[in-house]
Amino acid sequence: MKKVNLQQNGVFWLVAVTGILLDQASKWWAVTVLQPQFEIQLWPGVFHLTYVENFGAAWSLFENSGGFLRWISLVVTVALMAMGLFSHLSRWEQWGYGFVLAGAAGNGIDRFAQGYVVDLFNFTLISFPVFNVADVAINIGVGCLVVASVLRARAPEPESKTDPSESARPALRDHNDAPPS
């Protein structure tokens, strides 16, 4: 079994825990302050804080799913925690998977605690679905993972190990590479 090293993926854990705390704090605020008045128009017609109880996923997909989304959240959360414990992640992967864990766990906490997710950010200008910090974290995480994939694809392949006696020999020159005489 692999040895657990929490420091190895420290950024992953920091991002995940911070994201979960921010998500839950914003939802607590929405329930205690925003729910009684339902909506605060920060920029009328553009951006409002709107209290919504979402029983589905993004765009209220799977709204009548019978609670299977809570189990999906749990499986994703446990899998990402295992990845953070046992995998060596690049810096971009730590950011990406940390944000995705924050989002999955943040919305999962809501689904298990009350059976729905609290959403509050409402861009009314473009009729976008109301969302929360966990949703933002998941999207940032996916963006970071795209960057990690691009960087990995562009990284030079590691040089193969050669016989040390070969590296001591001068490189053979092509006749076109000869210095002018």
Q: Give the active site residues.
A: 119, 135
Q: Which residues contact 95 (CB under 8 A, 6 or more apart)?
A: 11, 12, 15, 141, 144
Beta-sheet pairing, 39-43 with 47-54: antiparallel
Apex CA 41: angle with CA 39 and CA 43, to 5°?
155
Give me the amino acid identity at 25: A
Residue 47 CB: number of other CB atoms within 10 A?
A: 15
